[in-house]
């Protein structure tokens, strides 16, 4: 029997299938991401309970900044909404400058609305991205001892961040997390949105993952660490993604299936090499498990 566990409130729920996890992946009580395990015995075997080191990820910081902007916008709105009637009251009671707070209040309210809307719209995207990262981390934590999870890696000189890198006896994996809504069709490394109202090609997460994998391999070479290849994976969060044509260089998987995929690969790295790779990457990662 599968379970969803909230480690924050120490609650757990029994579920019938993994599909239920996708309908219910955040805790109702506290909003923490839930940990999905196939049985409670598997939970007992989990060794990664606290990160070795942890800072806010880029996505988390962005989500927080927009949340602050949204709160600021609401405070401005409240200030404007209080000032206007106060000014009217002053004007009615004969105060000559009473019109000033009325005008100021109206201006503040007019300015706050676009600020609230924009921060809500953009912040939502970052928040969803942050939730996605937490869910994928929770799934990766099922990897046994000997595997290292490094989150939000920014390599020197690189343009973007890598969401997750896993290093262990079966190799090095770059995982790109995508939480899209809507229906997607994948043909090789091309991605298409296929909704009733919108049908279009979108930016390919597979190409991004492969580019990051190549960049990571190159970075390790500059540190005199040579691996035959770095695997690219896209962890796809939304329920609907139809893969018409498999891309042999980049697997697209539900987050819960990523650990199995990593573990079923052939062994290729010795313990000392794993350690060297993790040491080279550690300081460029926001979080290490």
The structure tokens listed for 36 are 């999905």
Per CB under 5 A, 29 contacts Zn ion: yes
Fill in the DSSP letter of residue 170: T
Taking the complex as a whole, how short is the minimal distance between the CB of residue 136 and Zn ion, in angstroms?
18
Write phi, then psi, for 210 (nearest 5 degrees): -70, -40
Residues 78-117 touching Zn ion, rule: CB under 5 A, are none
Q: Among 18, 30, 89, 144, which residue sits at the site for Zn ion (rule: CB under 5 A)?
A: 30
Sheet (strand 190-194) strand order: 199-202, 190-194, 184-187, 241-245
Taking the complex as a whole, how short is the minimal distance between the CB of residue 146 and Zn ion, in angstroms?
29
Taking the complex as a whole, how short is the minimal distance between the CB of residue 14 and Zn ion, in angstroms?
16
Residues 288, 282 contacting (CB under 8 angstroms): yes
Q: What is the Cα–Cα distance from 282 to 172, expressed in whole angstroms? A: 14
Q: Contact letters (x/-) for Zn ion, 198-237, by CB under 5 A?
A: ----------------------------------------
Residues 175, 165 contacting (CB under 8 angstroms): yes
Stretch that binds Zn ion, among 23-31, 40-48, 151-159, 228-236 (CB under 5 A): 23-31
Stretch that binds Zn ion, among 32-40, 61-69, 187-195, 240-248 (CB under 5 A): 32-40
- Residue 43 vs residues 4, 151, 202, 234: alpha-carbon distances, Å: 10, 22, 37, 25
Q: Among 5, 27, 116, 234, which residue sits at the site for Zn ion (rule: CB under 5 A)?
A: 27
Residues that bind Zn ion (CB under 5 A): 6, 8-9, 27, 29-30, 32
């Amino acid at each position: 029997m599968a379970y969803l566990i909230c480690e924050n409130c120490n609650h757990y729920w029994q579920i019938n299938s993994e599909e239920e996890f996708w309908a219910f992946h955040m805790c109702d009580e506290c909003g923490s991401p839930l940990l999905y395990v196939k049985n409670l015995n598997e939970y007992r075997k989990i060794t990664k309970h606290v990160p070795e080191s942890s800072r806010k990820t880029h996505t988390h910081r962005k989500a927080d900044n927009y949340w602050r902007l949204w709160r600021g916008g609401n405070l401005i709105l409240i200030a404007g909404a209080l000032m206007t009637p106060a000014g009217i009251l002053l004007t009615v009671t004969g105060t000559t400058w009473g019109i000033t707070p009325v005008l100021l209040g109206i201006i503040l309210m007019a300015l706050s609305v676009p600020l609230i809307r924009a921060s809500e719209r953009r912040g939502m995207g970052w928040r969803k991205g942050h939730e996605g990262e937490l869910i994928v981390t929770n799934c990766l934590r099922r990897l046994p001892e000997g595997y290292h999870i490094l989150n939000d890696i920014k390599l020197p000189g690189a343009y973007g961040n890598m969401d997750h890198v896993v290093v262990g006896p079966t190799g090095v994996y770059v995982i790109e997390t995508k939480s899209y809504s809507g229906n997607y069709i994948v043909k090789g490394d091309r991605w298409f949105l296929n909704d009733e109202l919108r049908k279009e090609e979108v930016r390919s997460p597979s190409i991004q993952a492969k580019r990051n994998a190549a960049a990571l391999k190159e970075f390790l070479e500059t540190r005199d660490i040579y691996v035959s290849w770095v695997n690219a994976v896209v962890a796809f969060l939304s329920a609907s993604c139809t893969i018409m044509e498999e891309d042999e260089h980049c697997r697209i998987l539900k987050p819960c299936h990523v650990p199995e995929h990593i573990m079923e690969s052939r062994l290729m790295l010795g313990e000392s090499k794993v350690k060297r790779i993790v040491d080279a990457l550690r300081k460029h990662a926001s979080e290490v498990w």
